[in-house]
Copies of this chain bind each other. A is one copy, B any other.
Amino acid sequence: MAHKATIKELAEAAGVSVTTVSQILNGKGDRFSSDTRKKVRDYQKKLNYVPNFNARNLILNNAKTIGVLVPNIGNPFFSSFIAGIQRVSREFEYLPFNFSGSNDPELENYYMKRLISRGADGMIIASSTITSETLNDTLKKNAIPYLLMDQSPLSDGDQVRTNDTLGGKLVADHLLELGHRNITIVMPENATDNILYRVKGFKAEIVAQDAQKVCHVTTIYRPLTKKGGFESAQAVVDSQATAVFAINDEMAIGLYRGLTQLGYQIPTDVSVIGYDGIDLDEYVSPALTTIQQPISRMGELATELLINRINNPRIEQQVVELPVRLIQRSSTTAPKI
């Protein structure tokens, strides 16, 4: 059981040539006698022959592999996203390899290079800190199709996106309607474009309604993590806001802890709304009001588009926009008077 059989050995054992074996095993053996076909198949089982992937791939040059780069698998958003990718990949008989870049450009570059050297046919990049340098040098130069998440609608590659502007607007609508006039946004300093659009949509709506509803908006910058949300609590309190727009659910959940620790009640003392729609939202207390993105669908679609691009390199830019919607739960209410 020491060693793997080669096609040559199989051919010898069956008393035929390697061509015969290759053709038959690859479904192109119609022209051979059913006798030979059977013989080859029998010996295959007997020797437990499995084609050497490397040798095969060296010729065919399609590894049926896609690389996936996310910033942080710990965020349930990305595990759902990956689940979607895994599902569709299997459907198309691709194998997705995913890595957590941990917001470290060097690490991302490292994984990217490995993936490419291993013949990845394409990449899904959901990592914000990827540098355009890496992109150009590593992907474009190697002619590897890729799909960027969370990036500017103006980029020229294939895209799966959600309407972040609308999402921001929905947040504003909801909070204004509840009667909030002093709102604080908690977001990261170097925000990705999609987040900037969220904020933009939000602010635009505030301005649009300003004629009737004079409103004050504060912005607090913290890292895009539970910890970041947690640590923003004091600043949120200081801002005297009656409602907080946490730019994603992770931050919102961190904020929960921070506010609670400072003795504030949600939503009685301050309303909190998140963004993403991770499944945890229903489990925290109070259940988190949020803007829901169809996360795993985003992963599925990204995979579909990418595979389509791999198979048809020359088609036009593919852009799909998925809907977002407000899920009202228990973390937002009218402000105290």
Contact = CB atoms under 8 A, between A and B. Distances in A.
Contacts of A63: 54
A86 B74 contact: no
Given A118-B53, A283-B253, A97 B97 contact: yes
A47 B143 CA distance: 12
Query: Helix, strand, loop or mixed for chain A's interface?
Result: helix
Contacts of A256: 283, 285
A235 to B, nearest CB: 18
Contacts of A80: 74
Contacts of A157: none
Contacts of A137: 48
A9 to B, nearest CB: 12
B83 A2 contact: no
A146 B142 CA distance: 34
Q: How many copies of this kind of chain does the complex include?
A: 2
A253 to B, nearest CB: 5
Given A82-B100, A95-B118, A285-B256, A4 B143 contact: yes
A117 B6 CA distance: 11
A181 interface: no
A287 B254 CA distance: 12
Contact of A117 (B3, B51, B138, B283): B51
A141 B1 contact: yes
A221 interface: no
Interface string A250-287: 00011011001000000000000000000110111101
B54 A119 contact: yes
Contacts of A76: 74, 76
A269 B53 CA distance: 58
A324 B44 CA distance: 45
A53 B283 contact: no
Interface stretch (A11-19, A26-34, A108-116, A237-245): A108-116
A154 interface: no
A2 B142 CA distance: 7
B285 A257 contact: yes
A116 B83 contact: no
Given A58-B55, A226-B283, A285-B256, A83 B90 contact: no
A201 to B, nearest CB: 28
A1 B54 CA distance: 24
A111 B222 CA distance: 39
- Residue with the highest number of chain B CB atoms closer than 10 Å, among A55, A83, A95: A95
Interface of A: 1-5, 47-48, 50-55, 57-58, 63, 73-74, 76, 79-80, 82-83, 86, 90, 95, 97-100, 107, 110-111, 113-114, 116-119, 137-138, 140-143, 226, 230, 253-254, 256-257, 260, 279-280, 282-285, 287
14 contacts: A1-B140, A48-B141, A50-B116, A53-B117, A53-B118, A53-B119, A73-B83, A74-B76, A76-B76, A79-B100, A95-B111, A253-B283, A260-B285, A285-B285
